Amino acid sequence: MVATKVSTEALKPLKKNSRGCVLVVDDDPKILKFIRVGLTLAGYMVITAASGEEALKFLEAEEPDIIVLDIVMPVMDGFEVLRLARAVSGIPVIAVSARASTAKEALHLGASDFLDKPFRSDELVKRIEVALHHRFN
């Protein structure tokens, strides 16, 4: 598993100096790195999780502002993570998948937006900005 663990104490000062905290969930380490680099360059603090189980732990402990969630993952897929996240939080979720056929169900389960893989980093940043604008305004 590839994950960036950050203590809650370390998050609080960083959140003040960043555009927000993004939890990125994907089982592919290359995709996690691609998204982490792009979002960090755009000014976001990024926490990564390589599984649905890990994502739910971070959601509870770190209180991110938004989640970027891969739908197709082993063991616990993004649909299950989305169901469980919606049971405890109204946090915006941008679902991502190489399978466009998953979009309808992801949105039905409460995703704020859906983005087809592959995508450009700047497109993801724009979607995050819109979702956070709606959340905080």
Query: Residue 104, exposed/middle/buried by CB under 10 A (0-12, 13-18, 19+)?
Result: exposed
Is 83 a member of any domain?
Answer: yes
Predicted local confidence at residue 17, as pLDDT: 53
Spatial contact of 78 and 25, defined as CB atoms under 8 Å apart: yes
Q: For residue 100, give its domain range.
A: 18-136
Is 127 a member of any domain?
Answer: yes
Is 13 a member of any domain?
Answer: no
More confident residue, 16 or 39: 39
CATH of the domain at 74: 3.40.50.2300
pLDDT at 117 over 50: yes
What is the side-by-side order of every strand in the sheet holding 113-116? 45-49, 21-25, 66-70, 93-97, 113-116
Is 7 a member of any domain?
Answer: no
Is 36 a member of any domain?
Answer: yes
Is 9 a member of any domain?
Answer: no
Tokens representing 123 are 């497109």
Question: What total of structural domains would you count in the chain?
Answer: 1
User: pTM for this structure?
Assistant: 0.86
Is 42 a member of any domain?
Answer: yes
Task: Determine the average pLDDT of the residues in 56-66.
Answer: 93
